[in-house]
Structure formats: C-alpha cells, structure tokens
Structure 1
Amino acid sequence: MTALIIGGSGFLGAELIRQARAAGHATAGTYTTKPGDASPIAWHPLDLRDVGSLAAVVAEVDPHIIINASSGGTDWAITAAGPIHLAMLAAKHGTRMVHVSTDAVFSGAAVHYDESALPDPITPYGAAKAAAETGVLAVHPNAVVARPSLIIGYGRSEHEQLVHGLASGAVDGALFTDDIRCPVHVADLAAALLELASSDVAGIHHLAGPDALSRHELGVLIAKRDGLDASRLPAGLRADSRLLGALDVRLNSQATQRQLRTTLRGARQFLRPGV
C-alpha cells in the first residue's frame, strides 16, 4: 500500500511517516519550505494553493491512501480551499482520504462535543477548518474528517516547548487555567489516523484523549515528567487576555474509540514520569 502524507514535514506528519513506514507502507511526504526529519521514500515540495502542482504530486505518487496533516493557519486558500481540491483529486482517483481537522471548529459554548455536534467556530482559523470539513465531505463522501485536540509527544510539540521555555525563564507568558482541552499523544493520533485510513469508515471522527485539562494543568504534568520545577510555570486566565478562541472544548471520542484497536490515552497516563 502506498501512503501520501500531506504536511509530512510537520510534527504530526513526521509521526505518520514513521508509523506508515514501520507498517510496511511505501510512503511519500510533502513539505512547503523544506523536507522534515522523517524518512519517506520520496519528498515532494507542495503548495496547496497550486492546484496543478497538487494534481501532479497525486498522479506521480498514485497513493492508495492520502492523509492531509497540513496546517496553513488562517490562510483560507491553504486551510479551507486546499483540502477541498485535494479531496476532489482523491475522489477522482478513487483514493482513500483522511483529512485532519481540529477542535477549533467549536466555540466552547456547549463545552462537550461529540461527532454529531455542528461546528460554530469563533476564530478565522476555526472557520477555515470548518469550511474544509464541509467541502471535503461534499466532494468525497467516503472520506474521513478527523478532529484531534491538543497534540503532545516526545517533547516536540509547541506546548511542551513552551513549558520548557517558561520553566527556564527563557520566554515570557502564562499557561491559562480556564483554557481546557483533551490532549492526545501524537503516536496514538497517528496510529488512529492510519487505522481509519485502512478501514472503510467515513464521515467525522473525534480523536482526543479522555482527560480534560487546562493548559496550566497540562504544563504541570509536562514539567513533572521532564524533571522541571512546576512552581515556575506562570498561571493566567485566557478570559482576561485579548486572545481569540474558545475557552472550554471537550471532544467526546467514545464513539470513534469503540471502532478502533488503537487506544487514545489520556494525558495523565501518557505524561506519567517514565512513560
């Protein structure tokens, strides 16, 4: 089986490439600026805004599965339109596709969200991701849209690096006590995505851990795992800041978990010292 990982140079993309190769899949990855540290069979430069280039990469790789783990931030052409063009190509070629979305498609007003919840984003990024979800499933009804929460693992995630910077005093800032998510380990997430890609399920699937934690609680767990002084982590309230975004978003992944062999561990489990 040949797998094409869009955004293979990123944090999640690199783990997808590693696991796909370990499973024996011929794997190609794409990058925007430079190849990542992972070792696919081939790297392909790709700008999701360039439909011609996108078509050329898909035709050259001729994958059985495509996993879109790219991130274009608030750039609508990359984050919203790009995945839809990709889904159109996947549908044309009869290729299995998994599109990685986000919990930012929700406002937090309802706090608890399962797969039946309708998106109600309150940020430009969330709006772009919500548009991509709708478009992907409209043009490729057999595709999977996977929504993770905060992705953690191996000390390489943005949140883990921030915790180290705050604990050492190298960076300024605070970890919010009112900003709550359900973190997932990058290894569990990648395994679940590959499992979904190899199945015949379709539609929306939540891939978050079972533990709801504030950013500060998560930071404390990371600090304890890494032998840092957790008392040095500044606490704050997102509600008092000018940052846009939801406060409390808790993805319910129970329905998807029942379909998976992969266990989506909670942060209290995967961040235990020695794990």
Structure 2
Amino acid sequence: MSRLLITGASGYLGQRVAYFAQQTTIWDKVYSQTWRNPPTAGEHVACDLADQAQLEALLEQIQPTAIIHTAAVTPAMGPAMTDQALWAVNVQASATLARWAAQHQVRLVHVSSDAVWGGREAAYTESDVPAPIHPYGASKAAGEAVVAALDPQAAIARTSLLYGQNPLDPNTTMALAMLRGERHGVLFTDELRCPVFVEDVAQALIELAQKPSLYGIFHLVGPQILSRFELGQALLAWNGIDSTGLPAGTTTASGLRRPSRVVVDNRTTQSQLSTILRSIDDVTRR
C-alpha cells in the first residue's frame, strides 16, 4: 500500500498539497500531520515535530512510502519563532525525516526557501551556495544541509513568496490590512522576489514526490520579478480592490536588515518538471 505523509498540513502550502494529493489516485492513503489545527484534507495525524521521539514513533506507525515536508517555523509566527523552535523544527525534524527516509528507502521532498540567501544583483541558480543573513534563513539553510547529507536522494525544493485565493494568502491579507489602516508598516519597493502561485508549488511538490529519479535542489518560484509593493498591488487588483493609498517604503529607510534583491532562476527546474510555474500575470489573467 502506498502512503503519503504531508507535514505541516494546516499551513498555507501544506493545505493545498494535502488537497491535491487527496484528489489523485497515486497514494492509497494520504496522512496530514499537524500540531494543533486539524487539516482540511487527508487523514489527520497529530504530532509535535519538535519532539523527536514523537516524530519517530509516528513514522514507524504509519510507514509512509513518500513524505512531503512542508512544515516550518517561520517569521509569520512572531514571538514563537525562537532560536530553539527554529532548530527543533527546521533543522532537527528535517534531519529525523531524512534519516528515516534514507534508512527505509522512502521518497522525501523537503521544502526550503529563498531566505537561504541575503540578496545580490545576479540571479541565484540551484548550484549557488546558501548565504543567509538572518536566523530563519540560517535555519532553512541548515535544514537543507542535513537533508542533503542524510538522504542524498531527497528533493529539496526552494520556494519564494506564496500567493493564492480560497483562502487568501498572508501577503494579500497583509496588504489589505495596511491599505485599510488596520496594520502599521509599509511594503518595500526595494525588496525583490519571484512570487509563485501556491497551487503551482503544491502540484510541483506532488510531481517531485512521484519522481525519485529527480533529486537535489529545485527552484519552485515564479518567473516574474516583483517588489513586495508591486506584489501587494497585483494581489489587491486580482481581488478587485483598488490599491490607491497602499503604503510604500524602502528597507534602507526602515533600518531593518533584510534580504534585498533575491531573484531566483527557475529555468533548470522548469525544464525537468511538467508542472508549469506561472508568472503572476499569467495566474491573475485566468
């Protein structure tokens, strides 16, 4: 019997992966791991990934034949993003999954982030070495390193800013809150990323989970470069909302140390996948 385990299935990406996996006939069972909130698709398995013994027991219990590891501690968690939590989930849990997957010859797809870099003028390719500038990025870079070392046959998928509808993504809800004056702050005009549609990423992860011949680093990002401010404008327009008055600013003026121009090249990855990673213009014109 084929069994897929999805970690972080109550997260924004994990929800979509679980939904699409449930629609396929690839796996006989789809297990959706969460810590607190129940998932919207798949058979719920509760587990605290920060508890290594608990995670190992779960793996032995359900014996997955494939794992898509979307769970992570992120800046969106606010004060809960402690150094201890970053290490326990983003690094140690990833190591536990990779070690178990390698020992049992199970396919592992590990989700990482463009936060592994600090920004530069040239685009980043799959062969560029991570160079993070903040704790979250450092934890994701460490997670990549342990997965690659413990399970060389794993696929490591880096993503960028995710967006989508039903439910609205965090980037849209943040822009909307700023526009309405419900949240303080600005969207940066000098912080560039390659946003990607959450459904494209979910489908690409499911495709990678089916193709064990594809291993190493993959860039699941969009082909279009946008500032956070431009992304906010585009997402509001997609939802029929006038973005006039959306607050803009620069990272320089903010005094914050953040990655600036993080442009990620996805052409090598795209040449290996049938799932198309679309531009935001293509998605919003649907």
Contact 1:11/1:156, CA 8 A, preserved across alignment:
no
Residue pairs, 1:65-144, within 5 angstroms? 65-73=66-74, 74=81, 75-144=86-155
The CA distance in 1 between the partners of 2:7 and 2:202, in whole Å, is: 13
Number of aligned positions between the proteins: 271
Provide the residue aligned with 1:56 in structure 2.
Answer: 57
Structure 1 residue 110 displacement after superposition:
4.5
Provide the residue aligned with 2:260 in structure 1.
Answer: 247
Counterpart secondary structure, 2:21: helix
Gaps of 5+ in 2: 75-80
Provide the residue aligned with 1:29 in structure 2.
Answer: 32
Residue pairs, 1:137-176, within 5 angstroms? 137-154=148-165, 155-176=167-188
Counterpart secondary structure, 2:156: strand
Provide the residue aligned with 1:267 in structure 2.
Answer: 280
Residue pairs, 1:219-238, within 5 angstroms? 219-238=232-251
Counterpart secondary structure, 1:230: coil
Provide the residue aligned with 1:44 in structure 2.
Answer: 45
Q: Once superposed, which parts of structure 1, at least 4 consecutive aligned residues long, lie more than 6 Å away? A: none
**Amino acid of the structure 2 residue aligned with 1:85:** T
Contact 1:167/1:229, CA 8 A, preserved across alignment:
no
Provide the residue aligned with 1:10 in structure 2.
Answer: 11
**Amino acid of the structure 1 residue aligned with 2:204:** A
Counterpart secondary structure, 1:14: helix
Structure 1 residue 165 displacement after superposition:
1.1
The CA distance in 2 between the partners of 1:194 and 1:151, in whole Å, is: 17
Query: Is 1:211 aligned to 2:224, yes or no?
Result: yes
Contact 1:121/1:127, CA 8 A, preserved across alignment:
yes
Report % sequence identity.
Answer: 38
Counterpart secondary structure, 1:161: helix
Q: TM-score w.r.t. structure 1 length?
A: 0.95
The CA distance in 2 between the partners of 1:197 and 1:70, in whole Å, is: 16
Provide the residue aligned with 2:77 in structure 1.
Answer: none
The CA distance in 1 between the partners of 2:267 and 2:194, in whole Å, is: 13
Q: TM-score w.r.t. structure 2 length?
A: 0.91
**Amino acid of the structure 2 residue aligned with 1:95:** V
Query: Is 1:187 aligned to 2:190, yes or no?
Result: no
The CA distance in 2 between the partners of 1:39 and 1:206, in whole Å, is: 26
Q: Deviations over 1:54-112 (max 9, x none)?
A: 11111222111101000113521211121011111111111100000000001102441
- For the aligned residues, what is the CA RMSD? 1.2
Structure 1 residue 3 displacement after superposition:
0.8
